[in-house]
Amino acid sequence: MSTSVRRPHGPGMPWALARATASDLAGPLPAERTTPDAATGRILARPVIAETPVPAFDTAAMDGYAVAGPGPWKVTGRRLAGPGEPGAPLLDGTAIEVGTGAALPPGTRAVLPYEHCSRTDDQVTGDVTGTHIRHAGAELRAGDPLAGAGRPVTATLAAAAVQAGVEELHTHRPPVVALFVTGDEVITSGRPGPGQVRDSFTGLVGAVTGRAGGRLLGSTRLPDDPAALAAALTADGPDVLVVSGSSSAGAADHLHRVLASLGATWHVRGVACRPGHPQGLAELPGGRWVVSLPGNPYAGLVAALTLLEPLLRTMAGRRPEPVPAVAVTGAARLYAEGVRIVPVTGSEIVPGARAGSLHTAAAADLLAVLPAGWRSGDPAPVLTIP
């Protein structure tokens, strides 16, 4: 069952609206050409059209003999799979030995499998019970569509494109992300000393970025210095700049002031959720995006799934992903002004979640988004933990 509702400070944008805003603001990035194999995991910006027929030529579907006319047949040669012209037309009453995949000469009536015939010297006899021929273009003709724009390029689709003679695909360019981990207390390696914490954001942001179809360019630690932050946000390169920390209203939190000095436009500035309230999404002049993640690790994970992942999915050309709902049981301290986001294993809430700790999320499968009126057993939207 649920427990008492807590009422802390200001709410911010409703969680569902914030996530939808992140999904709807940006458009897919422009298309770029790539080989089919390199396109795996990307989203098609243009349809894939067969360049050659499949099969490209009449080919044997079985090992045996290509025969012409009625039998018995005189064997005049052999043809295995491999390059080269299919040879002169077969004359009635003649045959050539063929392997599966071999190009068949004109005039072939059927392929007589070994198990359906017998051979003595150069004579073959048997009953033709099927053609066992894969005719040119029987499966695809040149100009036939293989897949439409918006389709993810799977390894199978890439292989089918290669089979159909396609040498390049047009896919949306993956968004490039740079992460800036702020804070004088943050270290990137070694055991933390007094007053220090390890960077726990790089792996999380990298996983969320990759899952959404983007590419993490790198992670940089920044001191609590507004000039350093401004320089990082104005450097050329990435499409999306993710800042962990520096997002609240403390003496070391410079992000809002820096973005104001750069003329940025806020689209999400605080979200009505706990944890993760001081998250945000802003747009720099010129069209680059800044995603602000709270410095507490669990709150930062919530923000990455709320704002960063849907933004990147859209930029990568992926279709909006509905948030599923499942029945959730257990106890939670609800938030009257918005939603409480809790880790869940199966359908049960994992107790003890705190904004600054990841251990409960690490023990869970999902994050459940509980509205203020939720009761144990009610359905709630859930997010998959990376």
Tell me: the pLDDT tens digits for 49-79?
999 999 999 999 999 999 999 999 999 999 9
Rounded to the nearest 10°, the torsion over CA 177, 183, 185, 188 is 20
| pTM, 2 dp | 0.85
Q: Which helix (H) or strand (E) holds 180?
A: strand 176-182
Q: Is the dihedral of CA 100, 105, 108, 112 positive or negative?
A: negative
Measured distance CA(364)–CA(367) in Å, rounded: 8
Give residue 357's pLDDT.
84
Q: Are residues 336 and 249 in the same domain?
A: no
Give residue 253's pLDDT.
64
Q: Are residues 221 and 329 in the same domain?
A: no
Question: Phi, psi at residue 44, to the nearest 5°?
Answer: -65, 130
Measured distance CA(248)–CA(268) in Å, rounded: 14
Using 70 as the pLDDT threshold, list the residues of the chain that sit under it.
Answer: 1-10, 184, 187, 196, 199, 247-253
CATH code, domain with 21: 3.40.980.10
Q: Are residues 310 and 184 in the same domain?
A: yes
Give residue 177's pLDDT.
98
Domain termination site, one of 315, 338, 354: 315
Q: Is the dihedral of CA 315, 312, 207, 370 positive or negative?
A: negative
Contact 238, 308 (CB under 8 A): no
Give residue 10's pLDDT.
54
Q: Are residues 293 and 192 in the same domain?
A: yes
Domain termination site, one of 172, 190, 222: 172
8 in any annotated domain: no
Q: Are residues 118 and 27 in the same domain?
A: no
Give residue 247's pLDDT.
65
Let me know if 41 is exposed, middle or buried by CB neighbors in 10 A (0-12, 13-18, 19+).
Answer: middle
223 in any annotated domain: yes
Q: Are residues 271 and 334 in the same domain?
A: no
Q: What is the DSSP letter of 249?
A: S
Domain total in the chain? 4
Give residue 196's pLDDT.
66
CATH code, domain with 67: 2.170.190.11
